[in-house]
Amino acid sequence: MTTSPVRWTQGSALKLFNEPLLELLFRAQTVHREHFNPKRIQLSTLLSIKTGNCPEDCKYCPQSARYHTGVAGEPLMDIETVLAEARRAKEAGASRFCMGAAWKNPKDRDLPHLERIITGVKALGLESCMTLGMLSAHQAQRLAQAGLDYYNHNLDTSRDFYPHIITTRSYQERLDTLEHVREAGMKVCSGGIVGLGESVSDRAALLVELANLPEPPHSVPINMLVSVAGTPLENGPDIDPFDFIRTVAAARIMMPTSYVRLSAGREQMSEQTQAMCFMAGANSIFYGCRLLTTPNPEKNRDLALLEKLGLETERGDVKREEDERLHRLAARQKEADTELYYNAAR
């Protein structure tokens, strides 16, 4: 991961948001093509390994114990069940397996269980990611030593708007967790939510916070609010898809080397909106039937859309390259002796 040479200011970020949409899209697409293969989309699957009964008060979240949303609390999943889901995700084409637990923070007594899960997921050849709430420096070190590749901890929104959404943990505590993750050598996944009632200026400020971190996050999930009955934001404002697309484009321009991920809210998006998000530089999606507790478009619908748009998955490329390599190897084995092989069949 290269460090972004640009320090973004609120003014320069806002300028992006105010550009004519097609100009912004063109610029985002140009930046995207400088850093990524524009045909490749990375797939991640997200599994809730501990659901509900969260003590935090995030106003959008159906898993908070403070709201009556009908989400049944479930204890931490056993290792075999998690690994069975990871195997399924791999078979379905995911290259990264993300696991989420509805906690304020993990307890030290949970760490051995989490470490065994990480070891098991890695043994399947998947990249591992967890989102478990706040981490102390020592907890981050332990997870990193177990082999965890990524840690997700979203900033959610701007520093100024944040107290309207969450009061049980501070913005600074979130930044501290990101620092512990970075110091432990894991890759940071951090993004936010569009549609909480924030202004355009707040969206710009969120992206400035992310882009100006000591290293921009490796992955930047951009979520669209899923209004869930029973949460304080159940009657949240409708979001104009163009506002969402603008946020994706600005994220791409401000964090050129990060994976920009379409996350919660894809269910409500038309195929055309998703296509415009890809044009705006989104190159990763959460894929699968469950995005924590909100529905996510069915896997086959996702694949059909990617096919329609002529996009391919990162893992598909890796697999095809591997197939081609094996094919070349098989062809060479039919030849005479080479510097690599003694052909015993001759």
Give binding residues for [4Fe-4S] cluster as ranges. Answer: 54, 58, 61
CA distances from 180 to 152, 189, 268 (A): 12, 13, 34
* Size, binding site for ligand SF4 by CB under 6 A: 8
List, as one string, the DSSP characters of 277-335: HHHTT--EEE-SSEETTEE---HHHHHHHHHHTT-EEHHHHHHHHHHHHHHHHHHHHTS
Q: Which of residues 113-142 bind ligand SF4 (CB under 6 A)?
A: 133
The stretch among 11-19, 39-47, 52-60, 183-191 that binds ligand SF4 (CB under 6 A) is 52-60
- 128 vs 154, which CB is nearer to ligand SF4? 154
Q: Which is nearer to ligand SF4, 102 or 249 (CB)?
A: 102
Question: Residue 137 CB, nearest distance to ligand SF4 (Å)?
Answer: 20
Query: Is the Cβ of residue 62 or residue 93 nearer to ligand SF4 in the bound state?
Result: 62
Considering only residues 284 through 343, tell me which ones interact with ligand SF4, judged by CB under 6 A: none
The answer to whether residues 132 and 103 touch, using CB atoms and an 8 Å cutoff, is yes
Q: Which stretch binds ligand SF4 (CB under 6 A): 57-65, 79-87, 185-193, 261-269?
A: 57-65
Question: Which one, 54 or 306, has the nearer CB to ligand SF4?
Answer: 54
- Determine which helix (DSSP H) or strand (DSSP E) holds 247, and give its type and residue range: helix 241-254
Q: Which residues are annotated as a binding site for [2Fe-2S] cluster?
A: 98, 129, 189, 261
DSSP state at residue 222:
E
The H or E element that residue 248 is part of is helix 241-254
The CB-of-63 to ligand SF4 minimum distance in angstroms stands at 4
Does residue 293 contact residue 50 with C-beta atoms inside 8 Å? no
Question: E strands along the chain, which residues?
Answer: 40-50, 96-101, 127-131, 150-152, 187-189, 192-194, 219-224, 259-262, 284-286, 290-291, 294-295, 312-313
CB of 270 to ligand SF4, least distance (A): 26
Site for ligand SF4 in 58-117 (CB under 6 A): 58, 61, 63-64, 102
- Number of residues that this document lists for the chain: 346
Active site residues: 54, 58, 61, 98, 129, 189, 261
Q: How far is the CB of 191 from ligand SF4 (least distance, A)?
A: 13
Cα gap 210→203, rounded to integer Å: 11
Residues 21-40 that bind ligand SF4 (CB under 6 A): none
Give the shortest CB-166-to-ligand SF4 separation in angstroms: 7
Interface with ligand SF4 (CB under 6 A), residue from 8, 28, 44, 56: 56
Q: What is the spatial distance between Cα 176 and Cα 216, in angstroms, rounded to a whole number?
A: 15
Q: Which residues of 309-327 are buried (b: 16+ CB within 10 A; e: fewer)?
A: eebebbbbeeeeeeeeeee
DSSP code at position 345: T
Binding-site residue positions: 54, 58, 61, 98, 129, 189, 261
Of 61 and 99, the one with the shorter C-beta distance to ligand SF4 is 61
Q: Would you count residue 233 as binding ligand SF4 (CB under 6 A)?
A: no
Q: How far is the CB of 338 from ligand SF4 (least distance, A)?
A: 56
What contacts 95, CB < 8 A, 6 or more positions away?
42, 43, 44, 126, 127, 313, 314, 315, 318
If the CB atoms of residues 102 and 213 are measured against ligand SF4, the closer one turns out to be 102
Select the residue interacting with ligand SF4 from 24, 41, 54, 280 (CB under 6 A). 54
Could you tell me the end-to-end alpha-carbon distance of the chain, in angstroms, rounded to an integer? 48
Binding site for ligand SF4 (CB under 6 A): 54, 56, 58, 61, 63-64, 102, 133
